[in-house]
Amino acid sequence: MIEFIDKQLKDWADWAGRRDDCGLGYVQSQLARLGQAAGGGKFAGLPHDVCEDDMHELQKIVAYLPFELHQAVWQCYMMPGTAGQHALACGCHRDTYYTRLHRAHVLVMEALQVGIDEVPLLVVGRAAMAACLGAGNVVVVNNLKKVLTA
């Protein structure tokens, strides 16, 4: 596990899972937050060292990860439970789960260093997602909505 990436993904999970409804029950989506970030507003409740643009970049990187790696990241950072429970949810052994998580960390680190467009697996993931969305794949559309509004 890469400690810096682990911290970044923990901040991302906190950001992605945060509710901004002011107690009224109307949850603000990440797309609305993106509009705020473009307008210069800062999302309330973010730690001072967390940049809104970095969170959106991590959101894209995680969304473009290959399925097994995306699933491992999602289970690790967004779902409660133990490593054994996460591995069971991913349908693999715990060692395989840790291997997938480490591979995801390496891809995230590479994407943060050189850009999403320079990491072949992420380019393939983005193309596959675009093709599925273009074809109207209901499962992919629902998963993307879940990812973007979680």
Per-residue pLDDT of the chain (150 residues; tens, 9 = 90+): 899 999 999 999 988 877 555 555 555 555 555 555 444 444 455 666 778 888 889 999 998 999 899 999 999 999 999 999 999 999 999 999 999 999 999 999 999 999 888 888 888 777 777 776 677 666 655 655 555 444
Cα separations (Å) of 77 from 11, 14, 72, 99?
A: 9, 9, 9, 15
The pLDDT value recorded for residue 82 is 93
The pLDDT value recorded for residue 73 is 95
- Structure-block tokens of residue 79: 């779902």
The pLDDT value recorded for residue 97 is 96
- Residue 122: which residues within 8 A CB-CB, separation 6 or more? 61, 64, 65, 107, 111, 116
Is residue 68 within 8 A of residue 76, CB to CB? The reply is no
Q: Give the single-character DSSP code of 21.
A: -
Is the C-alpha dihedral spanning 45, 102, 127, 131 positive or negative?
A: negative
The pLDDT value recorded for residue 86 is 94
Query: Would you give the end-to-end CA distance of the chain in angstroms?
Result: 24
Q: How far apart are CA 31 and CA 28, in angstroms?
A: 8
The pLDDT value recorded for residue 150 is 42
Q: How far apart are CA 13 and CA 17, in angstroms?
A: 6
